[in-house]
Amino acid sequence: MGSPGVVLLLSLAAAVAQAQTPPGPGHIEGTVLNAVTGQPVRKARLSLILVAGQPGALRSEEEHWKQAITGSTDSQGKYNLSVPTSGGYRLTVHHDGYMGQVYGASKPGEEQKGTVLELGPGSSKTKADVSMTPFGAIMGHVLDEYGDPVRQVEVAAMTYVAGPNGKTLQQQSGSQTDALGEYRIFDLPPGRYYLRARPMSAQMPGADPTAESYAVLYYPSGMQPTAATPIALTSGQEQQGIDFALHPTESGFLRGRVIKPDGAASCRVFLEGGGPDAPPDMSDAFSSTVIMVTTSGNAASFSPEDFEFPGSQKTGKDGKFEFPKIPAGSHTVTAICIVGNQRYTAKSPVQLVTPGLDNLLLHPAPPSTITGKVAVEGQSNSKIADTRLGLEEHRDNTVFGGQAGADAPDGSVGEDGAFRFRDLAPGVYHLGVEPPDGLYLKSVTIGGRVVSESVVDLSDGAASVEVNILLSANGATVEGAVENGAGAEVTLIPAGPQLARGQAKEVTADPDGHFSFSALAPGRYTLFAWEHVDTNTAFYDADFRKPFETSGQTVDLEEGRKVNVRLKLIPASEK
């Protein structure tokens, strides 16, 4: 037996060796469950991502995902991830048929509200369970007036979306009927849906003159979106028996002539369904029904053969066109002609009634150009070329937009602030401006006149309009805190018409409930703090905000001033 001194020395040596041994990697483990049934979710895909700003975190989203620690759940829905590097992480979970979920977030789609986990060597996190919300589905049949199945009917699940121009129905997902007339729309989040059935006669009017003509139908039997009945879908629910019964509709012909511009080599005419006041769903365009108008035998930038679709027709040099057997209702006819390398365009809304419309004349006009310059007032380190411009036509369908660069599209801003949009078809456009960080939009001058809304009317074509944009570095600032508002969604909404659309902003409060808005245009705003909210609804739906006016706070901002506010949190249960 050794002496006490030797034993003590050996014990100390072992303790030192143990202290010098680096700890093993940390780990996190838990179970992924179905939020509706409570059953384990097998083969769920997990990613542990280092939060931006943490030591060792990479900048771009792509780089974050490349360095993510990944894994999957076993047959019991369990997982165990090894974490070799210390830091703050977020755990995200995905699986087909489920909405993506972040650990710690109360609902899907709220990545920034997930819990930041401090993990690394020597640390562990157990029972980090995640509940995933399953998608739902809507299914049914489309039948004709005799109860027979109708194939190739496009069925769309749509929802109302709030925007600067009010609420509009927008397609979220869709399906097509098979030979049995059956459709199934899957991977739908919980919500209220409006269904639309669009048969082939509406998709490609006139493609088959011998076929029966059916119009677009909104469930259960409405011809207009306002007649649609909403379908409430809960998590994981399969709504069955949502059937449509189509009925023949009146149809008529549409005949006319394109007045060929001088020098035009060829023209084409096509039809869009719904007319100018239809909801902004571009899938309703009858773009596959192209009626060619050959106005000259000369070679052209495009030829009639380039646009041969089922049901297309060709005419001679007289420029005449005809759409046979078109469903009655509102439509838009467009003619495009090529003169040299320029596109001449004419659009005409029509209200078609039986037996049809004859002698429609289309006068294609040459394109227009918008030129202008962006200037900055005040001292700023922001790059003027980082200004984003977007040109929108007809119900916010983006036409152009981009940033400066060698391959930038028309509308990019140069280092000197100059920009240009060219080859614009006749129409009314809205010019959107997104200033660089630290600047706000102070004024827009169109044709020498300062305007509150950046609307450019090019309806007559062949116009050259000058636009001057003034940005300012002297914006106002709003800072504040939300009571018990960690992760609250704070919206700042213009309270009066003096501010242009697009001035509404949203930020997420930090873990202490603090938030900040900077580079704000002078004016009156109202602030709200929401536990959960759809941003577009909060921005643009005044009726939605009305019950919460007492929870909001109105501020009047002056240029260069800073305002501090405290807000009450609007719980999700109150909405």
Q: Averaged over 171-175, what is the pLDDT?
A: 95
Handedness of CA 73, 76, 77, 83 (dihedral sign): negative
The CA distance from 159 to 533, in Å, is 16
- What does each C-alpha distance from 532 to 114, 385, 489, 514, 572 come to in angstroms? 13, 35, 7, 16, 5
Query: Band of the pLDDT at 250, cuts 50, 70, 90?
Result: confident
Specify the higher pLDDT residue, 334 or 565: 565
Residue ranges matching CATH 2.60.40.1120 in the chain: 26-132, 253-362
The CA distance from 46 to 114, in Å, is 14
Contact 446, 465 (CB under 8 A): yes
Q: What is the DSSP letter of 378?
A: S
Length of the chain counted residue by residue: 575
Query: Band of the pLDDT at 451, cuts 50, 70, 90?
Result: confident
Helix or strand holding residue 482 (H, E): strand 476-482
- Per-residue confidence (pLDDT) for residue 248, from 0 to 100: 87
The CA distance from 257 to 335, in Å, is 10
Query: Band of the pLDDT at 501, cuts 50, 70, 90?
Result: low
Q: Quick: pLDDT tens for 17-63.
A: 555 666 678 899 999 999 999 999 999 999 998 886 544 444 444 44
- Per-residue confidence (pLDDT) for residue 323, from 0 to 100: 83
Closest CA relative to residue 337, chosen from 296, 393, 377:
296
Alpha helices in 342-467 (DSSP H): none
Task: Choose the CATH number for 253-362 among 2.40.50.140, 2.60.40.1120, 1.50.10.10, 1.25.40.10.
Answer: 2.60.40.1120
pTM above 0.85, yes or no: no
Name every residue whose Cβ is closer than 8 Å to that of residue 361 and which is 6 or more positions away in sequence.
256, 257, 259
Superfamily of domain 368-472: Immunoglobulins (2.60.40.10)
The CA distance from 113 to 546, in Å, is 26
The CA distance from 129 to 109, in Å, is 17
The CA distance from 348 to 330, in Å, is 11
The CA distance from 549 to 347, in Å, is 44
Exposure class string for 16-33: b at 16+ Cβ within 10 A, else e: eeeeeeeeebbbbebbbb
Sequence letter at residue 440? Y
- Per-residue confidence (pLDDT) for residue 475, from 0 to 100: 95
Q: Please return the burial class of 501, using the count of CB atoms within 10 Å of its CB with bins 0-12, 13-18 and 19+.
A: middle
Task: Choose the CATH number for 136-245 among 3.30.420.10, 3.90.76.10, 2.60.40.10, 3.30.930.10.
Answer: 2.60.40.10
pLDDT at 313 over 50: no
Name every residue whose Cβ is closer than 8 Å to that of residue 162 and which is 6 or more positions away in sequence.
534, 536, 537, 539, 540, 541, 544
Task: Choose the CATH number for 26-132 among 2.60.40.10, 2.60.40.1120, 3.40.640.10, 3.40.50.2000.
Answer: 2.60.40.1120
Q: Quick: pLDDT tens for 389-425.
A: 988 875 444 443 333 333 334 678 999 999 999 888 8
pLDDT at 119 over 70: yes
User: What are the DSSP E strand ranges found in 278-367?
Assistant: 285-293, 314-315, 320-327, 329-339, 342-352, 356-362
Beta bridge partners of 419: 372
pLDDT at 575 over 70: no
CB atoms within 10 A of CB 520: 22
- Per-residue confidence (pLDDT) for residue 7, from 0 to 100: 58
3-class DSSP assignment, residue 16:
helix
Residue ranges matching CATH 2.60.40.10 in the chain: 136-245, 368-472, 476-574
Q: 476-574: what fold?
A: Immunoglobulin-like (2.60.40)
Helices (H) and strands (E) in the chain, counts: 5, 43
- DSSP letters along 452-465, please? SS-EEE-TTSS-EE
Handedness of CA 532, 536, 537, 538 (dihedral sign): positive
Token output for 282:
């571009």
Q: Averaged over 12-21, what is the pLDDT?
A: 57
- Per-residue confidence (pLDDT) for residue 214, from 0 to 100: 85
Q: Averaged over 68-96, what is the pLDDT?
A: 94
